[in-house]
Structure 1
C-alpha cells in the first residue's frame, strides 16, 4: 500500500465518483483509478466502496478506513512541513485551516491578503472537520481557521464571518424538487439524512430547528461528510438540511431548495488561539473585515 492509494481513495470518497475524481481531482484516467482502488481493497482485505449507477458509496469498512486515511495523509503532510521548517528556520510561516469545502469560497481572498502583505511568507493550508480544526488551533498546529464555533474551547477566540442559511437538499427528481421553496412540514415521512458527531455544531442547529418547527422527524441515516451525504441522498431518495455551501459538492442528480419561513442558520467563524502572539496573525485579523466583504462579493 502506497500513499498514492490513500490520496486516491480520499479523493474518490469526497467526490463520490470515480469519473469525477479522476478528471477533476487526480488528473488521471478513470480505468487506472479503478485499478488503484481495486488494488487498495485487495491490500486492505475488505470492500471499501460500492460502485453504483449514481457513483460511489462507502461501505462501513470504507467509512472507517477514510478516517484513518485522512489521518495518515495529515501526519505525512505535518512531517513534510516540519522538515521544511527545520531546513529553513528563518523563513516565516503561517498555517490556515478550513472546514472542508469552505476553502472554495474563502481561500482565494485569504491568500490574496497574505501574499500582498507578506510575499515571502510560506503559507500552509489544511482542510478538516471543525472539531479537528479546533484541536489543531489548541495544539498550535494552525494559526487561524475558518470553522464552526466549537463548544468547550475557552482558549479560542471566534470572529463571525457569515451566518449561512440551511437549505433542503434532495434528488432532482424528488416530488418536492419542483417547488421553489420547501415547507419543512412536507419533509415528515420522507427518508431523512442528518449529520453525525463529526459536525457537532451543525447537528445542534438541525436538531434545534426540528424541535422549534415541532417536526417529528427521526434521521434514517447519519453522514460524516458532504460527499457521503450526497451519495446517500441520491441513493435513498432522501432529504437533508445542509448549509448552503454544500452546493459546492452537489452532483447533477441532487438539487437544493430554500426552506420556507424562518430558515435556520449556522455561523462560519474565523478562530484562533488567544495566546497566539504571531505578528502575521495580528496582520491577518486586521484585514478580516475586508476579507469578509470581498469574499461575499465573489
Structure 2
C-alpha cells in the first residue's frame, strides 16, 4: 500500500465523487483513479466505497479506514515538515495562516511584532477556509492560524476578537433602506446558507435563528466568501455573514446590522499543542499587544 492510495481515497471521500476528485483534486483520469481505488480495496480486503450514479459513499469498513487513513497521512506530512525544519536549524521560519479576508486586519500588525523581535525571521503567509487552516496547523504546515475554533481538531486556541454577524444583501434591496434589519424581516427572502466547510459559522447562524424563532430554508449553500457575494448579487438573496467580510464587498452588495441581540462569532489564534517553537512562544506572548494594536488602528 502506497501513500498515493491514501491520498486518492481521501480525495474521493471528501469530494463524494470519483469524477470530481480525478478532475479537480488529483488531475488524473477517472478510469485511472477508479483502478487505484480498486487496488486499495483489494489490498485492504474489503469494499470501502459504495458507487452509485449520484456519487460515492463510505461502507462501514470505509468509515473506519477513512479515519485511520487521514490520521496516517497527517502523521507522515507532519514528519516531513518536521524533518525539513530540522535540516536547516539555523534559519528561523514562521508560517501564519489567515481566514480569507482577515489578513487585511491582522497581518500588518502581526508582522510589526515579528519584525520588531526577529528582523531576520523568514515568514510565510497563506489564507484559506478555517477547516483547511486547522488541518494545516495540525500537520505542522502552519505555526499559527487566525481562524475559527474548529471542534474536530485538537488544537490550542486563544481568542483574539469577536464580531457580530450582519445581513448581506443586494445594494438595491428594499431592506437596504433600513438602518437595521429585524430578523423576522428575513423570512420569505431567498436565503443563502453556509456549507459543510463553514461548520462553526453555520452553527452560530442556526443557533441564532432558533433563538429568534425564524425559519430560513437555504436555497443555496456556499463556503467561499467570494461566492457568497456573487450569489447575493445574482440571486438577489440575503445571508448572514461576519462583519469582517464587509471588507470584501463589491459595489453590487451591501450590509446592514441586525436589530436586537445580534449573534457574535469568535476569531481565534490556533496552534498545535506540541509545537515548542521559540518563535511561536514569543508570538503568543505578544497577543495582548497585537489585539491592542488592531483595536486602536485607524
Q: Is the shorter-chain TM-score for this pair beyond 0.5, marking a shared fold?
A: yes
Query: Corresponding residue for 2:45?
Result: none
Change in Cα spacing, 1:139 to 1:151, as seen in structure 2 (3 Å) is same
Task: State the alpha-carbon separation in 2 of the partners of residues 293 and 138 from structure 1.
Answer: 28
Question: When the two structures are aligned, how many residues end up with a matched partner?
Answer: 225
1:278 shift after superposition: 0.6
Task: Summarize deviations over 1:184-238 as a string: whole Å, max 9, x none.
Answer: 1000000101110111000100111111111121011111201000000001111
Task: Summarize deviations over 1:22-69 as a string: whole Å, max 9, x none.
Answer: xxxxxxxxxxxxxxxxxxxxxxxxxxxxxxxxxxxxxxxxx9899749
Query: Corresponding residue for 2:72?
Result: none
Report whether the alignment pairs 1:98 with 2:98: yes
Task: State the alpha-carbon separation in 2 of the partners of residues 232 and 117 from structure 1.
Answer: 43
Change in Cα spacing, 1:182 to 1:152, as seen in structure 2 (3 Å) is same
Larger Rg: 2
Query: Corresponding residue for 1:226?
Result: 225
Provide the secondary structure at the position in 2 that maps to 1:177. Answer: helix
Task: State the alpha-carbon separation in 2 of the partners of residues 66 and 125 from structure 1.
Answer: 27
1:96 shift after superposition: 0.6
Query: Corresponding residue for 2:195?
Result: 196
Query: Corresponding residue for 1:143?
Result: 143
Paired residues for 1:255-266 under 5 Å: 255-266=254-265
Task: State the alpha-carbon separation in 2 of the partners of residues 133 and 159 from structure 1.
Answer: 15
**TM-score, length-normalised on structure 2?**
0.71
Query: Corresponding residue for 2:185?
Result: 186
Task: State the alpha-carbon separation in 2 of the partners of residues 243 and 87 from structure 1.
Answer: 41
Query: Corresponding residue for 2:158?
Result: 159
Task: State the alpha-carbon separation in 2 of the partners of residues 175 and 211 from structure 1.
Answer: 25
Query: Corresponding residue for 1:291?
Result: 290
Task: State the alpha-carbon separation in 2 of the partners of residues 106 and 66 from structure 1.
Answer: 35
Task: State the alpha-carbon separation in 2 of the partners of residues 226 and 153 from structure 1.
Answer: 23
Query: Corresponding residue for 2:239?
Result: 240
Change in Cα spacing, 1:101 to 1:282, as seen in structure 2 (3 Å) is same
Task: State the alpha-carbon separation in 2 of the partners of residues 106 and 233 from structure 1.
Answer: 27
1:296 shift after superposition: 2.0
Query: Corresponding residue for 2:205?
Result: 206
Paired residues for 1:1-298 under 5 Å: 68=25, 89-154=89-154, 156-298=155-297
1:90 shift after superposition: 2.1
Change in Cα spacing, 1:210 to 1:64, as seen in structure 2 (3 Å) is farther
Change in Cα spacing, 1:66 to 1:128, as seen in structure 2 (3 Å) is farther
Provide the secondary structure at the position in 2 that maps to 1:245. Answer: helix
Provide the secondary structure at the position in 2 that maps to 1:166. Answer: strand
Change in Cα spacing, 1:180 to 1:66, as seen in structure 2 (3 Å) is farther
Which ranges of structure 1 fall in alignment gaps of 5 or more residues?
1-62, 70-80
Provide the secondary structure at the position in 1 that maps to 2:106. Answer: helix
